[in-house]
Structure 1
């Protein structure tokens, strides 16, 4: 069963609201976190009086009794007796059932995430149930602190990311160079081909990829450009892998920069600075330190070397234009953040540390590890060489 969530209970009590309501499918991270249940279609989860109740289609109830974290499972069929449902579009009727479900639970007011469906909210309000959007992001903050089981699940997924990185490096190492372009088995070695090999490697660990980055040359300097076409020799190739475990639904995340051939002096200089910035950030990470302080440690390194950062320029194209890191869990980007104005880190936060340097039209380098914040520092859950990977 779902453990009581004191922060959420305190928030509801302070706001004078009866419950916290979700209406989403199991791919929604809040839904999965609170219900512990994955279902392709939408369903309702209610947190009230330190208990979690799921409202599901009848055929799902037996499985949810076995697999979910709910304290109670209710079937929609229990609440389909209202006469007004008979002539209603079935899609709207499914939403309307939520009204009777809440009435039966004695719920007159609910707090909902800002992503809550407006159609459901309108129906609830039409029938006298107060719906209050929750802008304090309480559940985001709760999810940000991982327990030992969650950390182990993230660690398991990170092993898949490392396998994917090793598979990518193997392809690059076996490649040959002709006219500045990588070839393997007689064909150009493309970003797409390397991504396909990465995907097969993480699949062997029970994980999947919606996307990953294999970007050489100018593509490496563009934010989240996945890379396309033949890979270039002697220039940095940024490989950023963020798989999701199909069973636990937790993500991993790591980045390395690889050069096939001979890296330029500038590439080596950039990577040395990125490594220095990474170490500066890691030396700062611990509970009680703000994410802004960690980000500042990285910016200090780059700014001292004459490069712009998001602290010295508005939306710089080059230099260090992005945050130092972000939380990882049921989403690949979630709280907390290592960035300007970011708040205090807590033990149990799992964050990336990913400084990089870029120049538009040329390329870039990035180094990313995944760490668990502890009271006196951090634990690095990434077990992969951190040097510039030259193959």
Structure 2
């Protein structure tokens, strides 16, 4: 994939295992930091060690693959003995050979490297986020990669929900499975084991029961109780593609309180309202406000409790999903027009310290006349 969204030269230094921008530009996973350069003509270059260069030439989505030893031979006369300085000088010489002076770099470009290149006479400009504007608009290949991640996430969710559905309610009010107390940690372990077996890496999966669920990002711990909401939020990254899945369901083993049942129904309806509104050209802010309005109109207010804790619906409705778990665009109080090709989560929720939390999350593809829901797992509260 040749990226040509700007005539300006661009440069990234990092590991594509950790930099979504670098992985997007090169299409290759490399654990150690390496250099990516887009020259003034839009042609791409990477500099790799002997360890990676053959694989890079075979699989990287770039025009030119350089090896350090080749650059060393080419620019031998200007090299000092210090290896770290030598590598920077080799990059600087390659930039000069490519007649590059003005360079856009991402916001996380290392300060030490920036200082060096500025001293060498290059003009570095920090790019606004996103570094590659194209990343917002998913290609068919990316849609397929995300759909694969989401379908695996659904299967992992079934693993977690089945643990709860198969549990028994003991006289002490807690859940037991196979004669042992059913804990958040045990369910999380089952989910993680399933994901790893299917080439996905889990990241801080949430299994938060009862009042723990009132904190949206509390991962959950301890024995799970009956008749209380349990939030399960799973967001794995596929090891072969780098794309993420993301899904949340809230379930209750037993009979939830009438208030909690109303909260779950209100959240489900507000999500459906968002689905009906999302299409190309719609402002995400309007979608978010409609979700918030529905929750308020059904009796669930947002604010601070007497103890000063947040309660109600106090986070955004959704975020972009791709090579990062949170990326552009956003569906929140801030204006952000949705466009064809955006893939976003839709995850309204309600949180009250005395009740716990309820959240439902699915992922949609924005299209001209509406949105396509990419996740298909049914929503059932009491199991």
TM-score calculated relative to the size of structure 2? 0.93
SS in 2 for 1:59: coil
Flag the 1:136–1:196 CA change in 2: closer, same or farther, 3 A. closer
Q: Give matches, 1:46-195, under 5 Å.
A: 46-48=37-39, 49-80=41-72, 81-82=75-76, 85-88=79-82, 90-135=83-128, 137-139=130-132, 141-178=133-170, 179-195=172-188
Partner residue, 2:249:
256
Partner residue, 2:13:
23
Q: Give matches, 1:234-253, under 5 Å.
A: 234-253=227-246
Flag the 1:172–1:387 CA change in 2: closer, same or farther, 3 A. closer
Partner residue, 1:305:
298
Flag the 1:58–1:262 CA change in 2: closer, same or farther, 3 A. same
Contact 2:228–2:256 under 8 Å retained in 1:
yes
Q: Give matches, 1:26-37, under 5 Å.
A: 26-27=16-17, 28-37=19-28
Note the C-alpha offset of 1:119.
1.1
Flag the 1:366–1:53 CA change in 2: closer, same or farther, 3 A. same
Instruction: Output the CA distance in 2 between the equivalents of 1:274 and 1:195.
Output: 24
Residue 276 (structure 2) pairs with residue 283 (structure 1): yes
Partner residue, 1:368:
361
Moved more, 326-335 or 356-365: 356-365
Partner residue, 1:3:
2
Note the C-alpha offset of 1:63.
0.4
Count of aligned pairs: 374
Flag the 1:387–1:93 CA change in 2: closer, same or farther, 3 A. same
Question: What are the Cα deviations for residues 130-183 of structure 1, in whole angstroms up to 9, with x where unaligned?
Answer: 1111125341x3201101100000000111111111111111122122212111
Contact 2:21–2:131 under 8 Å retained in 1:
no
Note the C-alpha offset of 1:85.
4.1
Note the C-alpha offset of 1:96.
3.4
CA RMSD of aligned residues (A): 1.7
Instruction: Output the CA distance in 2 between the equivalents of 1:319 and 1:124.
Output: 49
Residue 291 (structure 2) pairs with residue 292 (structure 1): no
Question: What are the Cα deviations for residues 258-302 of structure 1, in whole angstroms up to 9, with x where unaligned?
Answer: 111111111110011101111111111000001111111101101
Contact 1:96–1:123 under 8 Å retained in 2:
no
Contact 2:280–2:340 under 8 Å retained in 1:
yes
Contact 1:309–1:316 under 8 Å retained in 2:
no
Instruction: Output the CA distance in 2 between the equivalents of 1:169 and 1:288.
Output: 37
Residue 317 (structure 2) pairs with residue 352 (structure 1): no
SS in 1 for 2:51: helix
Contact 1:354–1:368 under 8 Å retained in 2:
yes
Contact 2:138–2:342 under 8 Å retained in 1:
yes
